[in-house]
Amino acid sequence: MEEYPEELRTPPVALVALVGCPELHAVISTHLHSEQPPINTLALPDFSKISLISKTPKQPPHSAQSLGIFKRDWLLKHRTRVPSVVAALFTSDHVSGDPAQWLQLCTDLENLKLGNIFAELSNTYYRDEGRRIKTCLERKSISSVELSIRYCFKVAVYAEFRRDWVEALRFYEDAYYTLREMIGTSTRLPAIQRLVEIKTVAEQLHFKILTLLLHGGKVVEAITWFHQHNTSYKGLVGAPEVNFLHWEWLSRQFLVLAELLDMTSATIQSTVIATDKLSEWEFSSAYYYQLAAHYLKEKRSCFELTLSMSETASDIDGNAESVAPSVYVGQFARLLEQGDTYTMQPITDEEYVRYALAEGKRFQDSFEIIALLKKSFESYTNFKAQRMASYCEFKMAREYFSVNEFGNAKLLFDSIASLYRKEGWVTLLWEVLGYLRECSRILGSVKDFVEYSLEMAALPVSIAGVQSLSSKECGPADPASLSQREIIHKEVFELVRGESGLASNEENNSVRVTGDQPLHLEIDLVSPLRVVLLASVAFHEQIVKPGAPTLLTLSFLSQLPHTVEIDQLEIQFNQSVCNFTIVNGQRPQSAAISNVQPGHRVETAPALMLSTNKWLRLTYDIKSDQSGKLECVSGPHFTICCRAESPASMNDLPLWKFEDRVETFPTKDPGLSFSGQKATQVEEPDPLVDLQLGVSGPALVGEIFAIPITISAKGHAVHSGELKINLVDTRGGGLLSPREVEPFSTDNLHVELLGVSGLESEDDNIRKIQHSFGLISVPFLNEGDSWSCNLEIKWYRPKPVMLYVSLGYSPHSSEPNAQKVNVHKSLEIEGKTAVVFSHQYMLPFRRDPLLFSKIKPGPDSDQMASLPLNETSILIVTAKNSTEVPLQLLSMFIEVDDDDIGSLAQCNTGLRTLQTLHSSCLEKSSRRFSLSFPR
């Protein structure tokens, strides 16, 4: 669109001229320019310059055969040089007249609105001009079609000056249709130039129409119009030697529409709804950018063909210099210098072709094509039309490839390949990989070359090879076929064996895989190279004891078309002691064995051949370890590192998943194929230390209950031993009362771990974390030694409790990360209430009828009783031993104070001391006296 002259791209603005009083011109110009609609001014300082805008007398155009459709500078002339109104400004002292009219003049001047009057006058001028030409048109007295087009164009432009868009559109369309009729009939110019002129004019008219439609918000009409324009001119290719001009022209039509759509897209976005005729994508500029690029490519290929067929290039260059655009739109002429003046001389078609070729050589089409595709790509990406965007990306990459920018091409191809991989479009992936392979070859990147080659060779293409004719449509890789895969497979293995080199364009020598430059490929779980080599590892047992042997099955699968022979397999684990190497027995001379470190386990397999789609299964025994990485090695300087996968969690090969092939399991045992894991759990060794909990009978509430713990080391020494003690409610729930969330207090506590006694050093041996959890460190014990301590636990409520004691120690060293052995013991201990207190009052004899016959508990206190005042009441207190052990009651206190009567009992069995009774006992026996008077 930038190629169009400014006056064509913007709507015309009325022009007025100011003469005289130059000091006021700036003010007036600014004012008029800010009017709505704006008016441009042509300022002439004084009347001597008025001749500039005087009209040169024209010969009546009807008489002669017109030389062109319209002049190149006509529109510019009317916008910048031909004013519609001329205003002459005079200072007041230059005006003389009847003083009686002076006042009237002043009033008139007061009322004069400059902007309005100018707008009105220029409107009238343009209307009159338009009407004048329209009359000519209507009289049908025009001699030639050219004139009729020119008149329509002029009427339309005048209408545009008046902002009468409807009329402008109508006359532009008239001009356009008349022009279309001219194609077969005009004979004024030589054939090639005739078509060029018509197309150039059509382009301008089309552009005007399109702009008017789009600015009017008629997007659907604009697109429909464009399609019509496209259909009527698409076939007019013209002479074969200049057909590239046609494609360039067509490409420009699409580009201009795309740019116009981009400019208006903000406004149309909301209004556009796909109609019956047009679908949604036809409103997006991306589509038109893409087609513009497509036609520009067509242009380039035609241009190259023409250039190769034409005479020597120097001849073209020399001749074209004096040819220039002539005064008429779409025409070219030779400039002849005659002294000071130039004259235009018509040129022949041959001269024109040479000129066009010379002009065409100045442009770098590829970069233009890439720029167009890039716009299209960005636009599609914004629409989240990923596949469309990828197609544009592919074309971009191909352009880069054709202009030898292999780095850029590779980047783009890489990103497209991932989409086609994901969606499994094998033919397209093959094509892209073919380009990638070629790019990496030229860039001298051996690793990439090998990777792309291997991937191509392993693609699911099973079409038997077609005898391919090298077509320019095809990429560097020939069409996908099985034979092509085999060729690639052979090539790449010759390369990695060092038998052949990779001919790179970068430095003229070929790149080889040698000992100095070994090649190492990594295949992980998401790598596209999983089709090349899939490794799976399954331990036959999920849990093994240390030192006990277990079986391990290694399975390999390859989709390469030929059998691959592996020299050596290195299996690595996360515990490096277990690593081992499998050597191909048929290749004992292989140099790779020398890499093996002394003391390393080496197994020899009779053959390590990987055939297509057939699992290579190897089973070995292994001792005490977990698996980590699996590495397999092939070729003297070529290694592939392959992450092992568990058969159970192994994903299908995405591209081969839906192919017609025999499905086999990685292991012989199908059960193992479904459940096998690449890791195994190694158990800890059996403990050789005894842990004893010596407990006699149930615990009593209130008592400090001691539980002796004995650790005797029988087979192991105990290093950095640690006892973990945990008290758990057997019925579930906590050892605290349900109100545990409340701030912690001993009131809520039912069972508490108090401490440990019987330790030699008392300091910091128990680290209490909670009231139910403790951690005790055990000193070093030699084999045969024993150690003991007493746990002190106190019950506050009768409750059965599980006591868990676990001893963790390391049998060999006291290093913090040495392997630990654990011994667990648990014991259920019941807490019982030792003594149950109860009490009752002896009821008084019924002596007074007013006295209550029954002592009822008050409503607000559960055990409240009313007793008669000044009478002796008898309270019977009962203490009952509810345990199986005999208890000796030592003393019992019943205390009375103003508010409370508390009872405190102390009893002794000789063995156990219950120092205090739990508050529940107190609550039961505490009483409050209340006074009551008979009324």
Partner 1 sequence: MASTACFMIVSRNDIPIYEAEVGAAVKEEAAHQHQFILHAALDIVQDLAWTTSAMFLKAVDRFNDLVVSVYVTAGHTRLMLLHDSRNDDGIKSFFQEVHELYIKILLNPLYIPGSRITSSCFDTKVRALARKYL
Binding site for partner 1 (CB under 8 A): 279-281, 291, 294, 380, 385-388, 390-391, 394, 420, 423-428, 430-431, 466, 468-469, 471, 473-474, 479-480, 657-660
Angle between helices 446-457 and 482-496 (to 10 degrees): 150
Query: Least distance from C-beta 416 to partner 1, angstroms?
Result: 10
Query: Least distance from C-beta 297 to partner 1, angstroms?
Result: 11
Distance from the first to the final alpha carbon of the chain: 115
Q: What ranges make up the beta strands (E) of 379-518? A: 502-503, 510-511
Query: Least distance from C-beta 523 to partner 1, angstroms?
Result: 23
User: Please, which residue, 254 or 638, has the CB nearer to partner 1?
Assistant: 254
Contact (CB, 8 A) for 680 and 539:
yes
Q: Is 831 left (phi over 0), alpha (psi -120 to 50) or beta?
A: beta
Alpha helices (runs of H) in 186-326, residue ranges in sequence order = 191-215, 219-234, 243-268, 285-309, 313-320
Query: Which two tokens mark 76?
Result: 């510019």
Contact (CB, 8 A) for 436 and 474:
no
Query: Least distance from C-beta 262 to partner 1, angstroms?
Result: 20
**In terms of C-beta density within 10 A (0-12 exposed, 13-18 middle, 19 or more buried), how is residue 690 classed?**
middle
Long-range contacts of 257-261 (CB under 8 A, 24+ apart): 257/210, 257/223, 257/226, 257/285, 257/288, 258/285, 258/286, 258/287, 258/288, 258/289, 258/292, 258/375, 259/1, 259/285, 260/1, 260/210, 260/211, 260/214, 260/222, 261/214, 261/285, 261/288
Rounded-to-integer distance, Cα 798 and Cα 809, Å: 34
How does DSSP assign 519-544, residue by residue?
EEEEE-TT-GGGGT-EEEEEES-SEE
User: Please, which residue, 392 or 749, has the CB nearer to partner 1?
Assistant: 392
- Other Cβ atoms within 10 Å of 886 Cβ, number: 9
Query: Least distance from C-beta 425 to partner 1, angstroms?
Result: 6
Query: Among all chains, which residue has been given the structure tokens 């998943």?
Result: 657
User: Please, which residue, 209 or 461, has the CB nearer to partner 1?
Assistant: 461
Tell me phi and psi for residue 331, to 5 degrees: -115, 155
**In terms of C-beta density within 10 A (0-12 exposed, 13-18 middle, 19 or more buried), how is residue 227 classed?**
middle
Query: Among all chains, which residue has been given the structure tokens 């023409």?
Result: 306
Query: Least distance from C-beta 392 to partner 1, angstroms?
Result: 8
Instruction: Name the residue among 5, 132, 167 with its Cα closest to residue 74.
Output: 5
**In terms of C-beta density within 10 A (0-12 exposed, 13-18 middle, 19 or more buried), how is residue 782 classed?**
exposed
User: Please, which residue, 480 or 829, has the CB nearer to partner 1?
Assistant: 480
- DSSP 8-state code for residue 745: -
User: Please, which residue, 384 or 854, has the CB nearer to partner 1?
Assistant: 384
Query: Least distance from C-beta 504 to partner 1, angstroms?
Result: 26
Query: Least distance from C-beta 251 to partner 1, angstroms?
Result: 12
User: Please, which residue, 425 or 580, has the CB nearer to partner 1?
Assistant: 425
Return the H-helix or E-strand segment holding 106.
Answer: helix 99-111
Distances (CA, A) of 376 to 22, 142, 207, 258, 278: 52, 46, 21, 9, 19
Rounded-to-integer distance, Cα 673 and Cα 537, Å: 10
Alpha helices (runs of H) in 822-889, residue ranges in sequence order = none
The type of residue at 727 is L
Q: C-alpha dihedral over 578, 581, 585, 586, to 10 degrees?
A: 170
Query: Least distance from C-beta 346 to partner 1, angstroms?
Result: 36
User: Please, which residue, 71 or 661, has the CB nearer to partner 1?
Assistant: 661
Query: Least distance from C-beta 456 to partner 1, angstroms?
Result: 14
User: Please, which residue, 269 or 364, has the CB nearer to partner 1?
Assistant: 269
How does DSSP assign 59-101, residue by residue?
PPTTTSPPSSSSBTTHHHHHHHT--SEEEE---GGG----HHH
User: Please, which residue, 391 or 705, has the CB nearer to partner 1?
Assistant: 391
The type of residue at 890 is L
User: Please, which residue, 652 or 783, has the CB nearer to partner 1?
Assistant: 652
Tell me phi and psi for residue 505, to 5 degrees: -85, -20
Distances (CA, A) of 390 to 374, 379, 396, 429, 511: 11, 12, 10, 12, 32
Rounded-to-integer distance, Cα 358 and Cα 453, Å: 43
Query: Least distance from C-beta 474 to partner 1, angstroms?
Result: 5
User: Please, which residue, 111 or 231, has the CB nearer to partner 1?
Assistant: 231
Return the H-helix or E-strand segment holding 438.
Answer: helix 426-443
Query: Least distance from C-beta 123 to partner 1, angstroms?
Result: 44
Rounded-to-integer distance, Cα 301 and Cα 553, Å: 58
Query: Least distance from C-beta 385 to partner 1, angstroms?
Result: 4
User: Please, which residue, 352 or 391, has the CB nearer to partner 1?
Assistant: 391
Query: Least distance from C-beta 320 to partner 1, angstroms?
Result: 32
Query: Least distance from C-beta 432 to partner 1, angstroms?
Result: 9
Query: Least distance from C-beta 422 to partner 1, angstroms?
Result: 9
Query: Least distance from C-beta 614 to partner 1, angstroms?
Result: 20
Alpha carbons within 13 angstroms on the beta-carbon side of residue 633 total 20
CA 800, 803, 806 angle in degrees (round to 5)?
170
User: Please, which residue, 480 or 865, has the CB nearer to partner 1?
Assistant: 480
Query: Least distance from C-beta 67 to partner 1, angstroms?
Result: 37
User: Please, which residue, 298 or 690, has the CB nearer to partner 1?
Assistant: 298
User: Please, which residue, 160 or 438, has the CB nearer to partner 1?
Assistant: 438
User: Please, which residue, 250 or 442, has the CB nearer to partner 1?
Assistant: 250
User: Please, which residue, 386 or 882, has the CB nearer to partner 1?
Assistant: 386
User: Please, which residue, 279 or 840, has the CB nearer to partner 1?
Assistant: 279
Query: Which two tokens mark 485?
Result: 């895969």
